[in-house]
């Protein structure tokens, strides 16, 4: 447990006398400190695993950490340990304490799209910009732990006050649906702990030691939750890097680093300075870039790994050329070193940049995995199935009711739903409850009521079984009963239908497995699903494929070879963030990108880019100049598409020769 740790790392693992903050640069082993410390607590300090909670930034990171810890502890020792995101932890707390907050334990968790749908109806707008701004504002209020009333008081002008009133209706609607949005998963536990001392004490007894990774990106509400759980003694280890704070736009606040020192005067600070991830040229480039920010202190990261390959920059004609260049280079390099696709990552600032790269990879037959993009869970077919699951768990979830009742079509049309909705609103009950009431008979025609009741009874039967039988069995029967596959083939062309059905099967298999492994019922699983969509998707560990990821989603990860694309002014830094603190956040994003690389780093930029119908000239990012110490290798148009094709053919010939064909 203490082997392969340097002196300060070992000190951090063993330190238990009070609150601890490990503040250190990228690749210095912060995450390693957390995994080792978990094992240390269990094996050396006789902690029961159930009393330990480790908090990571993404579900993917949680999964990785669970695997690491699994290598250090046997199954029995690790049993009952909490390794999750703040959101999953909040959900676990709320599931047990829902009643105290006026919720049923089977409340629904809405994803961002469903939440936006509810808000759109309240502020009566279809303008995406307006909607996004209002949603963002409400989210910020929630993360600052403001109630609707508090928000109205804090509102800066009349427009803001209007949003605050929308926040009020939005919250009331969520409550009526017995639903929560992502921010509620943090805010409500905090509310609860602040008002119910005995509940807090119980949870403090349950989780006796907290370990928090990527602490620099916690927001106000998350910090408060951590503080409450850790108690006045501050039983926690937090690790983070202020140079990697990249979530200010979502309410994260680096100020929380400073507050930690104020709130815990006995906070112990341990710096780490040796980087174990990157070769020296990469590390030096990262250090040079981040030095342009105004920072509290220089971390002076150093590395014992060799100099490594020079960093390369490639100037490309346009984004298609850029994508093809990356494809060719990856293919050629992989062939040269007989490596794996999984050793390569292509990172970019915005999701929209992925499309051309995907196209080029498909053309070049390079397998790839997309993360941080449109999530698997945002697909229509997955949301259809999820609507059923939500409804089974929580019949008051009206948005889920509408989606499930009408997909596949079963004779419940808009006019039926409108009348039912009207009646339900008058009676202050959910759609589901309304149709079983006597009055519904008067409000609806018999041929409207009949399919509704049939649907309602179907859901009731499923709900009954979902609590008693294995998730997989119930799911399979449900899919059969609603004839989802047939409906897909009836309403889409064959290829699309097949693709969607495969996704549904994969989803169902995944749920089935999860149900078996974690001993969870379908009802419990349905709540996890909404959370899974929050930051990432499925398990992808064993697949040999190039990783395509946004810079944000790549945080905490490492890859032998990294391609950073679109390193241009107005992309990275983003055109809305060219000044002040926002520019500094972009620079930190660049720093995160560079420091993902272990052995090689290639940065590409385009001379022109299409915006709408127009070609616009682009400039290389200022960050390229900042990282350049004269040692950076520049490649021009050396690999034009024609040359690339020729190279491809040659490779194929080589390969055939090698195989003796
Ligand atoms: P980031 O800031 O990017 O999250 P980090 O500080 O969490 O980085 P880790 O991911 O924990 O860094 O470690 C980076 C790499 O260095 C990992 O591959 C890890 O296994 C390795 N490493 C960490 N500490 C040591 C050590 N003492 N000896 C050898 N390898 C180490
Ligand atoms: Mg880390």
Is the peptide bond prior to 43 cis by the omega test (within 30 degrees of 0)? no
Work out the burial of residue 317: count CB atoms within 10 Å of its CB; fewer than 13 is exposed, 13-18 middle, 19 or more buried: middle
* Pair 220, 254: CB distance under 8 Å: no
- CA 400 to CA 383: how far, in whole Å? 9
Q: How far apart are the first and last CA of the chain?
A: 50
Residues 137-172 have pLDDT tens digits of 999 999 999 999 999 998 889 999 999 999 999 999
Q: Name which of 546, 566, 562, 596 is nearest 370 in CA terms.
A: 546
DSSP code of residue 21: E
For residue 597, the surrounding DSSP H or E stretch is strand 597-606
Q: Which of 21, 29, 589, 591 to mutate to test the pocket of ligand 1 (most atoms within 8 A of CB)?
A: 29
Cα 292 to ligand 2 centroid, rounded to whole Å: 23
Residue 122 is encoded by which pair of tokens? Answer: 């309240």
DSSP code of residue 413: -
Residue with tokens 């997909």: 407
How far from chain centre, in Å, is Cα 212?
A: 16
**CA atoms within 13 A of residue 379's CA, in its CB half-sphere:** 18
Residues in the chain with pLDDT < 50? 534-538, 637, 660-661
Q: Does domain 377-536 have CATH number 1.10.274.50?
A: no
Residue 350 is encoded by which pair of tokens? Answer: 């915005």
Q: Whose CA is nearest to atom 29 of ligand 1?
A: 4
186 CB less than 6 Å from ligand 1? no
Please state the atom number of ligand 1 nearest to the C-alpha of residue 556.
4
108 CB less than 6 Å from ligand 1? no
Q: Name which of 308, 287, 279, 312 is nearest 632 in CA terms.
A: 312
273 CB less than 6 Å from ligand 1? no
Residue 286 is encoded by which pair of tokens? Answer: 């990262």
Residue 458 is encoded by which pair of tokens? Answer: 């179907």
Residue 203 is encoded by which pair of tokens? Answer: 């949870």
ipTM: 0.99
Residue 235 is encoded by which pair of tokens? Answer: 């039983």
The per-residue pLDDT for 646 is 55
Cα 277 to ligand 1 centroid, rounded to whole Å: 6
CA dihedral 548, 632, 329, 618 (to 10 degrees): 70
Backbone angles phi, psi at 615, to 5 degrees: -90, 130
Q: Whose CA is nearest to atom 28 of ligand 1?
A: 4
CATH superfamily membership of 7-94+187-272: P-loop containing nucleotide triphosphate hydrolases (3.40.50.300)
DSSP for 269-332, please give it: EEEE-EE-SS-HHHHHHHHHHHTTS--S-----EE-S---SPPEEEEESSHHHHHHHHHHHHHH
Residues comprising the binding site?
24-31, 277
* Pair 206, 239: CB distance under 8 Å: no
CATH superfamily membership of 285-367+543-659: P-loop containing nucleotide triphosphate hydrolases (3.40.50.300)
- The residues, ordered by sequence, that sit 6+ positions from 381 with a Cβ below 8 Å of its Cβ are 488, 500, 501, 503, 504
DSSP code of residue 342: G
The per-residue pLDDT for 33 is 97
Distances (CA, A) of 76 to 13, 72, 80, 206: 22, 12, 9, 18
**Which class in CATH covers the domain with range 108-177?**
mainly alpha
Cα 29 to ligand 2 centroid, rounded to whole Å: 7
Cα 487 to ligand 2 centroid, rounded to whole Å: 45
Residue with tokens 């089974």: 392
The per-residue pLDDT for 537 is 43
The per-residue pLDDT for 637 is 47
Work out the burial of residue 66: count CB atoms within 10 Å of its CB; fewer than 13 is exposed, 13-18 middle, 19 or more buried: middle
Same-fold call for 7-94+187-272 versus 285-367+543-659: yes
Q: Whose CA is nearest to atom 19 of ligand 1?
A: 29
- CA 181 to CA 177: how far, in whole Å? 11
560 CB less than 6 Å from ligand 1? no
The per-residue pLDDT for 250 is 73
240 CB less than 6 Å from ligand 1? no
Residues comprising the binding site for ATP?
24-31, 277
Cα 393 to ligand 2 centroid, rounded to whole Å: 36
The per-residue pLDDT for 596 is 98
Please state the atom number of ligand 1 nearest to the C-alpha of residue 28.
6
5 CB less than 6 Å from ligand 1? yes
Domain ranges, ordered by start, for the chain = 7-94+187-272, 108-177, 285-367+543-659, 377-536
């Amino acid at each position: 447990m203490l082997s392969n740790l340097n002196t300060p790392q070992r000190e951090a693992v063993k330190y238990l006398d009070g609150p601890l903050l490990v503040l250190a640069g990228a690749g210095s082993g912060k995450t390693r400190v957390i995994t080792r410390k978990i094992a240390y607590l269990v094996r050396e300090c006789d902690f029961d695993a159930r009393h330990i909670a480790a908090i990571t930034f993404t579900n993917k990171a949680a999964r990785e950490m669970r695997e690491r810890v699994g290598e250090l502890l046997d199954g029995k020792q690790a049993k009952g340990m909490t390794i999750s995101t703040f959101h999953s932890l909040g959900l676990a707390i709320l599931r047990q304490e829902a009643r105290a907050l006026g919720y049923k334990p089977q409340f629904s968790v809405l994803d961002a799209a469903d939440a936006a749908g509810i808000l759109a109806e309240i502020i009566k707008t279809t303008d995406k910009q307006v909607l996004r701004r209002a949603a963002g504002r409400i989210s910020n209020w929630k993360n600052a732990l403001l109630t609707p009333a508090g928000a109205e008081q804090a509102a800066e002008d009349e427009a803001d006050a209007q949003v605050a009133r929308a926040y009020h209706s939005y919250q009331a609607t969520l409550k009526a649906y017995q639903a929560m949005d992502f921010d509620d998963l943090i805010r409500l536990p905090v509310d609860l702990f602040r008002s119910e001392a005995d509940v807090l004490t119980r949870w403090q007894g349950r989780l006796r030691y907290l370990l928090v990774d990527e602490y620099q990106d916690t927001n106000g509400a998350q910090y408060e939750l951590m503080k409450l759980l850790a108690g006045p003694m501050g039983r926690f280890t937090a690790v983070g890097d202020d140079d990697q704070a990249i979530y200010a736009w979502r309410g994260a606040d680096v100020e929380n680093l400073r507050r930690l020192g104020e709130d815990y005067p006995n906070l112990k600070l341990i710096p780490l300075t040796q980087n174990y991830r990157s070769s020296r040229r990469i590390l030096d480039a990262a250090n040079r870039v981040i030095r342009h920010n105004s920072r509290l202190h220089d971390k002076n990261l150093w590395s014992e790994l060799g100099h490594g390959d020079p960093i390369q920059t490639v100037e490309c004609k346009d984004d298609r050329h850029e994508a093809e260049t990356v494809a060719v280079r990856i293919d050629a390099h992989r062939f040269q070193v007989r490596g794996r696709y999984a050793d390569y990552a292509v990172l970019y600032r915005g999701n929209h940049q992925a499309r051309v790269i995907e196209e080029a990879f498909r053309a070049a037959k390079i397998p790839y995995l997309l993360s941080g993009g449109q999530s698997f869970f945002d697909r229509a077919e997955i949301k259809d199935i999820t609507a059923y699951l939500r409804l089974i768990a929580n019949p008051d979830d009206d948005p889920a009711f509408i989606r499930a009742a009408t997909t596949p079509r079963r004779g419940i049309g808009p006019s039926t739903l409108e009348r039912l909705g009207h009646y339900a609103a008058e009676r202050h009950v959910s759609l589901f409850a309304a149709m079983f009431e006597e009055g519904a008979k008067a409000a609806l025609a018999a041929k409207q009521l009949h399919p509704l009741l049939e649907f309602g009874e179907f859901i009731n039967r499923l709900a009954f079984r979902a609590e008693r039988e294995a998730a997989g069995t119930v799911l399979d029967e449900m899919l059969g009963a609603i004839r989802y596959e047939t409906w897909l083939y009836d309403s889409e062309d064959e290829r699309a239908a097949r693709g969607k059905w495969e996704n549904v099967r994969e989803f169902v298999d995944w749920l089935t497995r999860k149900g078996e492994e974690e001993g969870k019922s379908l009802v419990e699983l349905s709540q996890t699903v909404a959370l899974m969509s929050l930051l990432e998707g499925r398990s992808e560990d064993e697949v040999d494929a190039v990783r395509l990821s946004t810079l944000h989603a790549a945080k905490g990860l490492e890859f032998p070879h990294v391609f950073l694309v679109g390193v241009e002014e107005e992309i990275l830094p983003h055109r809305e963030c060219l000044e002040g603190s926002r520019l500094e956040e972009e620079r930190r994003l660049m720093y995160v990108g560079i420091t993902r690389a272990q052995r090689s780093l290639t940065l590409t930029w385009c001379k022109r880019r299409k915006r709408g119908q127009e070609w616009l000239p682009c400039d290389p990012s200022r960050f390229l100049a900042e990282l350049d110490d004269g040692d950076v290798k520049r490649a021009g148009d050396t690999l034009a598409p024609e040359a690339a094709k020729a190279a491809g053919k040659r490779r194929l010939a080589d390969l055939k020769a090698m195989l003796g064909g």
